[in-house]
Amino acid sequence: MTDRQPHPHFDDRGTLTWYETLEGAQAAAREQGKLIFIDFGRKACSQCRTLVEAVIPRPDVAPLLQDHFIALAADADADDDAILALASRLEGAMMLPFVMFADAEGQFLDGYSGAASPPYLIKTLHKLIAQRQ
């Protein structure tokens, strides 16, 4: 299995190429000069499914992610210390999915937990993109 592939649990209709390890996502982010978008969830999570299948493919979301971010699908049931350390930065996080953003070195930049409206995600994406410019 390669590190770069479709989302492991849900169908984003080919919108993003997903990495399943932080190391792989970091290498791609460094190579491409992008930030990392992390979907931290699980297969049984309905809000996780909604994020990947209904929000990410939207025409007002997809280009922002494609142009400025590397996508990482992190499994909440896996024992990944680096991802758990990032997730611990989300204050008061109690509901999946955890949506996190990191730089190419794996440093936490921003994030939220639970379902978020597309406008909120778009606002966050624009904020992170503007901070890089």
pLDDT 10s digits, 35-56:
999 999 999 999 999 999 999 9
Answer whether 54's CB lies under 8 Å from 60's CB: no
**What band does 67 get if pLDDT is binned at 50, 70 and 90?**
very high
Query: Which residues make Cβ contacts (< 8 Å) with residue 101, sequence separation at least 6?
Result: 35, 36, 37, 38, 69, 108, 109, 110, 111, 124, 128
CATH superfamily of 4-132: Glutaredoxin (3.40.30.10)
> In which residue are the tokens 């007002």 written?
60
Closest CA to 48 of 37, 60, 56, 59: 56
Residue 1 has pLDDT above 60, yes or no: no
- Over residues 73-98, mean pLDDT: 92
Percent of the chain exceeding pLDDT 90 equals 86
At residue 116, the pLDDT reads 81
**Phi, psi (5° rounding) for residue 107?**
-85, 130
